[in-house]
Amino acid sequence: MKPKKIKGVPSQKSGGFHDTESRKLFKQDQVSLKFEILKKRLFSINQWKSFGGESFADFKLYDSNADPVQREPQKGDFIRINIPGPGETEASGYDWVEITDICYYQDSFTESVLMTCRPSPDPGNKKSRHIAHFYSSKASSTFLIFRSPTHLRAGVYGRNESPNFNAKLIDIIRNITVAAGGMMGTAKIQWKQLTDGFLDFD
């Protein structure tokens, strides 16, 4: 299987990848209203766990000064991830990504929003430029929401996923284990919980 080519999603060059999507049909007069709710959900990063379920990782939004914030994300912000199980020792048990892009596309019939994140150093540790994540700096995750006249789609697209070997030995072992699990489908299952949750309006 080849990765989907989607405008705004980084191209796949090496390592693992996944395309995780959920879609739902709606009456034409409901689509725009539901999309506005979906947009709020995408941008409510601190609430993602409530859409992904109890076993889902916990996400917290931080600004470029490493201060926690309660607002919509911006390019240059960071997301602190607390995945179940042992975390990065150097980053106090957390994984970090930086929001490198937020794109909006719209034409007469469709609208989409994409947010791309890449593994990053812990923004609160100014002494270290070490990537505090189980994937290397080449990896990316792009979160997408899309509306057509008849349906909504939520997706997460992982690209160039390989373990982060630039770490202490204990972290390298952990990174290989977590990354391998993610590349074998564990991450896709988790992201599917989130995309399904985003589209659950009942």
- 79-100 burial, b at 16+ Cβ within 10 Å, e below that, comes to bbbebeeebbebbeebbbbbbb
Average pLDDT on 77-90 reads: 76
Reported as a pLDDT band with limits 50, 70 and 90, residue 176 is confident
The angle at the Cα of 115, spanning 127 to 142, to the nearest 5 degrees, equals: 90
Coil vs helix vs strand at 138: coil
Average pLDDT on 150-156 reads: 97
**Can you give the pTM of this predicted structure?**
0.91
Coil vs helix vs strand at 187: helix
Q: What percent of the chain is modeled with pLDDT above 70?
A: 89
Contact indicator for 51, 143 with CB cutoff of 8 Å: no
